[in-house]
């Protein structure tokens, strides 16, 4: 594969709303690229499941969780595909893939159109400046409407969406597509649609096709003077159109729209053609890394196989073959036996086995060059680590990792399981930075944390299946925060005389709310009233105190601590004494600061038939939610709301039973908001009770 010309390499992601048929589409791509020899359905009757869903669990649930990467050949082009998960709970996976990929295929359902998750994914594509093609799937479904979805991409997502194809027949009658560049009708013959047959455009579609082609050429002309002139003189060639569309697509100023039905094996080969025609090769994408030697300066990486190596480990996986590390090479190349440095830990590693992945199988390769995505064996690292040739000290920009919003206590069913649980947790938290685990020092229980109920559910099931580790789970616990309500002064003296050296420290100052959250420390002590060496002790003491609020024991955020004055004793003052004084000052002042409890608020989007809108409104108001908007488009409705996470447990089953399974919802963390008084009091009471129960008798 070393011989693959860089210009013939593509790294693409496939992103979509749940149930848009993304996994089915990926399956077909693998089939037509001859990576697999038989097509399996996602919820396969043959009990095998789509090839990309490598985990049993994913097979069972019919959803894709972990992004497996795979390499295919289309003609003489090498395409790395990352199958990204659709559920919002796992968007960290999507974000990581987007960092690693050069372009994407956005799959939309021709009935559902632009849905809530599509909007999330589009935002992510925008954030990472990823060019993409839109593929409108499921044209065989009742209610399919290519033009409506094209309009939605333009209106709701604000893209210059341009049709490259129009359908021949629709719904039950969907037979093929008209390629507007070559002006040919394409049909997909053979048992699996593997034979593409080009014919003349059916007479009844000729006028429509001509008009659509004209709009295509008009739109493409914006990116090519040559095409514009040629079009005026009626001599526009296919090559000119392709070149112009490509320019627009790479600049993200034109979105080529293709269509088909993956399930019916229609339109996939033209989509692959479009991927290699219109999406960028790795050298056309600029990548930057932070220079760890010089004050965080960003450096543009050179796309040159002979340069020093820079690579990013973006995913870890423990497969049946041992620990696999997926890496993307941004600069230089990689060969077996090369020595690299992990710039986070400073550790040196030697490249052993190097493989190219295909879902569950792999091929050994001697080396790879910049632009490529491969996997390494036996490398100890965390996802997000950067590997460089010795002498370079760069870090690929860190991928934004949100804090977990929910936690769950787990208890192994017996001692033998405990080891396996520990092993599983260690691996999961390495693979997924939004999944965290720790032992609560008070209850001595193992706590797991993540981005939502489903997120944690999946890991508990994986523990059971992959590690035979069964655990009992507690009630899901929301990650509350505490905050001070107003500025409050403190003046606290810590004094202890217990024989021997005493302890003495006095701190004076105030705490004030910090709107942006977090913690800030300001030292305004003048004239050496507190010696320099003890200032940082105060800072440390405040930090320690803020880790656990006094209302319900959750971290206190949004505090600025200002130290203005104090007192010390030449013999009895110490680091410990000032830390203790700072903690005492916080305890003294906190109650007077009108402290508040904050809770995570989720942005919830519910979509379904409009007849259920009333039921949905009711579920939101019952859950202390605020409805932001409701949009009705004929039979279809979408409700956007803000709801506290603590009220959302079990919502999926409630929604399912209320709407006969016809509505679905997605949610993601929005912000922290104040817990209303009564509920806050209840939480405080519960916490006090727990404290009393665990207090030594």
Partner 1 sequence: MSPSVKEELVKRSPLRILEKSISGGLGRGNIAVLASRKGVGKTACLVHIAVDKLLQGKSVIHVSYSSRVDHIINWYEDIFKEIAKAPRMASALEMYDELIRNRVIMNFKQEGARTEQVLRSLEAMIVHGQFAAETIIVDGLDFGQAGPEELRKFKDFAARLGLEVWFSASLRGEEPLFDARGIPLLLESHVGVIDVLISLLHHGDHVHFTLVKDHDRLAPHNLRLKLDPTTLLIAKDAAKAA
Binding site residues, partner 1, CB under 8 A: 155-156, 610, 613-615, 617-618, 620-621, 626-635, 640
Question: Smallest distance from the beta carbon of 486 to partner 1, in angstroms?
Answer: 13
Spatial neighbors of 243 by CB under 8 A, at least 6 apart, are 224, 227
Question: Smallest distance from the beta carbon of 151 to partner 1, in angstroms?
Answer: 11
Question: Smallest distance from the beta carbon of 288 to partner 1, in angstroms?
Answer: 31
Question: Smallest distance from the beta carbon of 381 to partner 1, in angstroms?
Answer: 41
Nearest-CA neighbor of 496 among 577, 586, 587? 577
Question: Smallest distance from the beta carbon of 554 to partner 1, in angstroms?
Answer: 22
Residues 434 and 402 sit within 8 Å (Cβ to Cβ) = yes
Is the Cβ of residue 399 or residue 639 nearer to partner 1 in the bound state? 639
Question: Which H helix or E strand runs over 126?
Answer: helix 116-127
Question: Smallest distance from the beta carbon of 634 to partner 1, in angstroms?
Answer: 4
Residue 125 CA to residue 252 CA, distance in Å, equals 10
Q: How many CB atoms lie within 10 A of CB 506?
A: 22
Tokens 């993304």 -> residue: 22
Instruction: Give the C-alpha distances (Å, rounded to integers) separating 638 from 108, 142, 410, 608, 657.
Output: 16, 20, 36, 7, 18
Question: Smallest distance from the beta carbon of 613 to partner 1, in angstroms?
Answer: 6
Q: Mapping DSSP to helix (H, G, I), strand (E, B) and coil, where does residue 62 land?
A: coil
Q: For residue 325, how many C-alpha atoms fall within 13 Å in the half-sphere facing its CB?
A: 25
Residue 630 CA to residue 682 CA, distance in Å, equals 32
Is the Cβ of residue 41 or residue 640 nearer to partner 1 in the bound state? 640
Instruction: Give the C-alpha distances (Å, rounded to integers) separating 383 from 94, 405, 465.
Output: 14, 21, 23
Is the Cβ of residue 135 or residue 612 nearer to partner 1 in the bound state? 612
Residue 463 CA to residue 518 CA, distance in Å, equals 34
Q: Mapping DSSP to helix (H, G, I), strand (E, B) and coil, where does residue 237 land?
A: coil
Question: Smallest distance from the beta carbon of 630 to partner 1, in angstroms?
Answer: 5
Q: Mapping DSSP to helix (H, G, I), strand (E, B) and coil, where does residue 632 land?
A: strand
Residue 394, beta-bridge partner list: 291
Q: Mapping DSSP to helix (H, G, I), strand (E, B) and coil, where does residue 306 land?
A: coil
Q: What is the DSSP string of 472-530?
A: EE---EE--EEE--S-EEEEEEEEE-SSSS-EEEEEEEEEEE-TT-SEEEEE---TTSS
Question: Smallest distance from the beta carbon of 516 to partner 1, in angstroms?
Answer: 12
Is the Cβ of residue 223 or residue 665 nearer to partner 1 in the bound state? 665
Nearest-CA neighbor of 134 among 98, 168, 160? 160
Residue 627, beta-bridge partner list: 641
Question: Smallest distance from the beta carbon of 631 to partner 1, in angstroms?
Answer: 4
Is the Cβ of residue 443 or residue 621 nearer to partner 1 in the bound state? 621
Q: How many residues does the chain have?
A: 697
Is the Cβ of residue 214 or residue 632 nearer to partner 1 in the bound state? 632
Tokens 């107003």 -> residue: 486
Question: Which H helix or E strand runs over 458?
Answer: helix 453-467
Is the Cβ of residue 157 or residue 469 nearer to partner 1 in the bound state? 157
Is the Cβ of residue 156 or residue 656 nearer to partner 1 in the bound state? 156
Question: Smallest distance from the beta carbon of 590 to partner 1, in angstroms?
Answer: 22
Is the Cβ of residue 155 or residue 238 nearer to partner 1 in the bound state? 155
Is the Cβ of residue 283 or residue 615 nearer to partner 1 in the bound state? 615
Q: Mapping DSSP to helix (H, G, I), strand (E, B) and coil, where does residue 54 land?
A: coil
Question: Which H helix or E strand runs over 377?
Answer: strand 373-377
Is the Cβ of residue 62 or residue 517 nearer to partner 1 in the bound state? 517
Is the Cβ of residue 226 or residue 632 nearer to partner 1 in the bound state? 632
Residue 192 CA to residue 28 CA, distance in Å, equals 9
Question: Which H helix or E strand runs over 224?
Answer: none
Question: Smallest distance from the beta carbon of 622 to partner 1, in angstroms?
Answer: 8
Question: Smallest distance from the beta carbon of 459 to partner 1, in angstroms?
Answer: 35
Is the Cβ of residue 116 or residue 331 nearer to partner 1 in the bound state? 116
Is the Cβ of residue 319 or residue 609 nearer to partner 1 in the bound state? 609
Using only the alpha carbons of the chain, give its radius of gyration.
Answer: 29
Instruction: Give the C-alpha distances (Å, rounded to integers) separating 103 from 315, 635, 663, 685.
Output: 18, 34, 31, 52
Question: Smallest distance from the beta carbon of 492 to partner 1, in angstroms?
Answer: 30
Spatial neighbors of 457 by CB under 8 A, at least 6 apart, are none
Residues 270 and 165 sit within 8 Å (Cβ to Cβ) = yes
């Amino acid at each position: 594969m070393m011989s693959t010309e860089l210009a013939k390499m593509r790294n693409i992601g496939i992103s979509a709303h749940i149930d848009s048929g993304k996994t089915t589409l990926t399956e077909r791509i693998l089939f037509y690229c001859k990576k697999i020899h038989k097509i399996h359905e996602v919820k396969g009757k043959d009990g095998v499941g789509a090839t990309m869903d490598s985990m049993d669990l994913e097979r069972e649930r019919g959803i894709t969780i972990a992004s497996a990467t795979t390499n295919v050949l289309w003609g003489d082009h090498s395409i790395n595909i990352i199958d990204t998960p659709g559920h919002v709970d796992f968007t960290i996976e999507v974000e990581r893939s987007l960092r690693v990929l050069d372009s994407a295929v956005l799959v939309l359902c021709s009935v559902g159109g632009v849905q809530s998750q599509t909007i999330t994914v589009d935002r992510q594509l925008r954030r990472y400046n990823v060019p993409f093609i839109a593929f409108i799937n499921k044209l065989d479904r009742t209610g399919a409407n290519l033009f409506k979805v094209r309009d939605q991409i333009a209106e709701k997502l604000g893209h210059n969406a341009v049709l490259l194809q129009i359908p021949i027949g629709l719904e039950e009658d969907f037979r093929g597509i008209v390629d507007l560049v070559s002006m040919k009708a394409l049909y997909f013959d053979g048992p699996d649609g593997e034979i593409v047959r080009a014919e003349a455009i059916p007479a009844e579609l000729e006028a429509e096709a001509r008009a659509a082609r004209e709009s295509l050429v008009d739109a493409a002309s914006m990116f090519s003077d040559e095409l514009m002139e040629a079009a005026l003189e009626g001599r526009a060639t296919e090559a000119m159109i392709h070149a112009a569309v490509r320019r627009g697509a790479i600049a993200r100023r034109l979105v080529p729209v293709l269509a088909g039905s993956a399930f019916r094996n229609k339109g996939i080969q033209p989509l692959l053609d479009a991927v290699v025609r219109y999406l960028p090769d790795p050298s056309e994408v600029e990548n930057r890394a932070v220079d760890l030697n010089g004050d965080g300066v960003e450096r543009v990486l050179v796309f040159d196989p002979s340069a020093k190596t820079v690579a990013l480990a973006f995913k870890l996986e423990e497969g049946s073959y041992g620990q696999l590390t997926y890496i993307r090479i941004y600069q230089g190349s990689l060969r077996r036996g090369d020595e690299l440095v992990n710039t986070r830990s400073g550790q040196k590693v030697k490249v052993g086995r190097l493989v190219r992945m295909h879902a569950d199988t792999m091929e050994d390769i001697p080396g790879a060059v910049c632009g490529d995505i491969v996997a390494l064996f036996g490398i100890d690292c965390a996802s997000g680590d950067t590997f460089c040739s010795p002498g370079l000290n760069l870090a690929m920009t860190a991928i934004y990792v949100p804090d977990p919003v929910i936690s769950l206590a787990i208890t192994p069913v017996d001692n033998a399981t405990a080891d396996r649980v520990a092993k599983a947790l260690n691996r999961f938290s390495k693979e997924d930075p939004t999944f965290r685990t720790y032992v609560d020092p008070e209850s001595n229980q193992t706590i797991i944390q993540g981005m939502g109920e489903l997120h944690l559910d999946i890991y508990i099931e994986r523990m059971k299946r992959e590690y035979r580790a069964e655990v009992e789970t507690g009630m899901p616990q929301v990650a509350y925060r505490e905050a001070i309500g107003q500025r409050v002064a403190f003046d606290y003296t810590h004094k202890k005389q217990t024989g021997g050296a005493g302890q003495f420290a006095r701190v004076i100052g105030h705490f004030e709310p910090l709107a942006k959250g977090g913690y800030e420390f300001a030292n305004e002590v003048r004239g050496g009233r507190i010696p320099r060496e003890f200032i940082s002790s105060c800072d440390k003491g405040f930090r320690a105190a803020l880790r656990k609020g006094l209302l319900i024991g959750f971290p206190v955020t949004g505090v600025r601590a200002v130290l203005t004055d104090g007192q010390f004793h030449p013999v009895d003052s110490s680091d410990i004494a000032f830390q203790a004084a700072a903690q005492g000052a916080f305890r003294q002042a906190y109650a007077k600061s009108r402290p508040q409890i904050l809770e995570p608020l989720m942005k919830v989007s519910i979509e379904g038939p409009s007849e259920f809108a009333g039921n949905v409104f009711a579920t939101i108001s019952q859950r202390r939610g605020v409805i932001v908007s409701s949009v009705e488009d004929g039979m279809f409705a979408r409700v956007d709301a803000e709801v506290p996470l603590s009220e959302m447990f079990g919502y999926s089953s409630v929604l399912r039973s209320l709407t006969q399974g016809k509505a679905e919802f997605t949610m993601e963390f929005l912000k922290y908001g104040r817990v209303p008084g009564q509920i806050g009091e209840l939480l405080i009471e519960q916490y006090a009770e727990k404290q009393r129960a665990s207090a030594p008798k």
